[in-house]
Amino acid sequence: MSEGVREPPYRTELKPYGRALLDLARRRDDILCLSGDLTRQCEVDLFQAELPGRFVHAGMAEANMMGMAAALARSGHTPFVHTFGVFATRRPYDQIANAIAYPNLPVRIVGFMPGVSTPGGPSHQAIDDLALMRGLPNLTVVDVADAVEAAQVPEAVVDVPGPVYVRLKRGENPVIFDAGHRLTLDRAQVLVPGDDVVIYACGMMVAAALAAASALARHGVSAGVVAVPVIKPLDTRTVLAAAAGARGLVTAENHSIVGGLGSAVAEAVAEAALGRPLRRVGLRDTFAEGARTAAYLFDRYGLSTQALVDEAWSAAGRADPPPAAPVPAPDEGEYAPV
Amino acid sequence: MTASLRVSDPEAAWTVDDPRELALRIRLRAVRMVAPHGFGYLGQALSSAEQVAALFSHARPGLDRLVCSPGHYVIGPFAAAAELGLLDEETAASYGQDGSPLEAIGTERSPVFDHTCGSLGQGLSAAVGFALSDRLPRSGYRNGAPKENADARTYAMVSDGELEEGQVWEAALFAAHHRLDRLTVLVDANDSQVDGPVSGITTLEPIAGKWSAFGWHAQDLDGHDVDAVRAALEAASAETGRPSVLICRTSTRHGLDCLPRDADGHFLKLPPELAEAAVAELTSRLEPTRE
């Protein structure tokens, strides 16, 4: 049904980004690695162990870390800055705006643990990082789907002239794409063609979008899936081409529906006057509480495959009850859409 | 000279014959830069004139770096740069005007500085980043190795009001831990912030004691004694194993007797008559130094 995409449940990999960054840094000695006291969690313990001379432990001081990264970039180094997404964006926002975004410096900010992928409570959940970073001029904003893409992040972003924000899943990363898949920063990719409804998804919601499309197909709704790894600059050409060929549109992001992928697609579609019904799946302008597991939060806050099926069903113009979306039970070390 | 030259650019060149006279000239130039507007950040130039003059007489052109953390202070180094031929007259005269590269609060287009920022409390982190960069292997640069700067020093202008921002202390901790001894900070302790005297809003004292406790080599001195500032800069350059800070005690009204006693030092009003009196006062004070 879909090109270049595996079937769930997906096997998982650990540290795809950390391994790729180290590999690139072996060949590129301009790369520096900064960490804000979350070194193992951000997969850069590998970098620290092998290239300690280019590893900077900034400590638990994100504002200073961003300011230093700016000066290091200005001096000709290429700093990759690591912490959780929530601490990488909210806490040092003014520093990123003034010291990095405004001078348009090549600092790569890598924020782990996106959205409600952590049961660490609202303090640890980056539910507005895409919105915050998208609001700053000069930023490129990236939310990749799987281990294959995560492993391509360092190479894809290293030579972007300006600053880049990347959010990455912490821990086990699913392998959704075939090995031949290529992450490009200028293109959204149509993973599944469909003309009743199109689901635009980024990050961890790509797996759910693929699962939803399969469930919808079994019930006679042709649902397309467009993976949008780059929220800004948005590939409006691909987004609009897919929208023009569909009856309804759904966006899916592990993020607030305010300011992220849903907003970006809504703006593009509205400016093109396409007049398609649009449903935004994501956190509905709320913080997420009360979890022991991420799966509970995805379900409770409307980020499940079922939620996508429901929204797509309605966006496709179906008035009858939507079908149930089966969720594969993953074995140990496997990953299934929620 | 171009309007985009930074003090660390290889082509930058200047000499300071008499730092005391340069401080006077900074004041006079700053008055003339602010006068067309009728108000502005003249107080910052008045309190920092001796620090800027001492810095330009001590720093090495084309090698050392200059960070201006409080963007409102750019007027002083702009004035010095114009006096020393680093900044052309036309550009200097455009200070604060529409379309000028010299905005009243520093921007990316500000010449002279390696880094400036109008959102306060951020500059020390940049200075720390530069000092850290100078210590890294020479090969690791995007566009090949830069000029030989293994011996470069980074100077950061910081204001006392900025010490209320937590980021300053994050940067101070990092610099001391990493023994960044080629970093010198000049704190302009003029006891002035927007809402009034700093001491009436937040107790910062003992300022030098705080920096010492953070692991810095701290010197507390009269910031209007240009020889004392120069001596302190030399002591800082000789210090090894820890970064240095100069706590320069100053006033936003210093060196300009014609200012009203109750003038607001953060944002001085300078109507035409007062500007005229200020120019006359400073010009007359400059005459004897030429003899």
Q: Catalytic pick from A13, A43, A62, A311?
A: A62
Convert the pLDDT of each residue in A107-150 to its tens digit: 999 999 999 999 899 999 999 999 999 999 999 999 999 999 99
- Same domain? For A216 and A107 the reply is no
- Domain presence at residue A183: no
Structural domain includes residue B9: no
In a domain, B14, yes or no: no
> Do B167 and A59 make contact, defined as CB atoms within 8 angstroms?
no
CB contact, 8 Å: A68 with chain B?
Answer: yes
Distance, in angstroms, between B275 CA and closest chain A CA? Answer: 34
Mean pLDDT of chain A: 96
Which residues does chain B have with pLDDT short of 50? 1
pLDDT of residue B137: 78
pLDDT in tens, B259-273: 999 998 889 999 999
Binary contact (A71, B127; C-beta < 8 A): yes
Please compute the mean of the pLDDT values over residues A238-263 and round it to a whole number. 98
- For chain A, say whether B171 makes contact (Cβ under 8 Å): yes
Same domain, A19 and A158: yes
Check CB contact under 8 Å for A67 and B126.
yes
Q: Which residue has the tokens 């500032």?
A: B229
Q: Is residue A56 part of a domain?
A: yes
CA distance A90 to chain B (A): 15
Calpha distance A51→A32 (Å, rounded): 9
> Would you call B213 helix, strand, or coil by DSSP?
helix
pLDDT value of position A1: 53
What are B39-48's pLDDT values in tens digits? 999 999 999 9
In a domain, B7, yes or no: no
Q: How many CB pairs under 8 A join A and B?
A: 109
CATH number of the domain residue B63 falls in: 3.40.50.970
Tell me: the pLDDT tens digits for A276-305? 999 999 999 999 998 889 999 999 999 999
Which residues of chain A make contact with B130, given a CB cutoff of 8 A? 71, 74-75
In this prediction, residue A140 carries a pLDDT of 98
* Together in a domain, A209 and A304: yes
Does the CB of A70 have a partner CB in chain B at under 8 Å? yes
Domain of residue B71 covers 20-289
The residue range of the domain holding A158 is 10-174
Total domains, chain A: 2
CATH of the domain at A209: 3.40.50.920
> How far from each other are the two terminal CA atoms of chain A, in whole angstroms?
21
Q: Indicate whether A107 and A62 sit together in one domain.
A: yes
Q: Given this model, what pLDDT does residue B1 score?
A: 44
Q: Which residue among A116, A139, A174 closes a domain? A: A174
Confidence check: pLDDT of A16 > 50: yes
Question: What pLDDT, on a 0 to 100 scale, did the predictor assign at position B111?
Answer: 96
Q: Is residue B13 part of a domain?
A: no
Chain B partners within 8 Å of A67 (Cβ): 122-126, 128-129, 167, 171
Q: Which of A174, A197, A223 is the last residue in one of the domains?
A: A174
Residue B150 pLDDT: 66
Q: Name the strand (E) or helix (H) holding A213.
A: helix A205-218
Number of domains within chain B: 1
How many angstroms separate the CA of residue A15 from the nearest CA in chain B?
Answer: 25
User: What does the pLDDT read at residue B148?
Assistant: 58
Please tell me whether residues A257 and A211 are part of one structural domain.
yes
Residue A16 within any structural domain of the chain: yes
- By CB atoms closer than 10 A (0-12, 13-18, 19+), residue B64 is buried
Q: CATH number for the domain including A152?
A: 3.40.50.970
pLDDT tens figures, A61-82: 999 999 999 999 999 999 999 9
Same domain, A272 and A213: yes
Domain presence at residue B10: no
Please state, as a whole number, how many other Cβ atoms lie within 10 Å of the Cβ of residue A132.
Answer: 21
Residues A201 and A117 in one domain: no
State whether residue B283 sits within 8 Å of chain A by CB. no
**Beta strand ranges found along chain A (DSSP E):** 10-13, 31-35, 55-57, 78-84, 108-112, 140-143, 164-168, 173-174, 189-192, 197-201, 223-227, 230-232, 248-256, 278-283, 334-335
Nearest CA in chain B to A77: B141
A332 is catalytic: no
Chain A residues closer than 8 Å to B166 by CB: 63
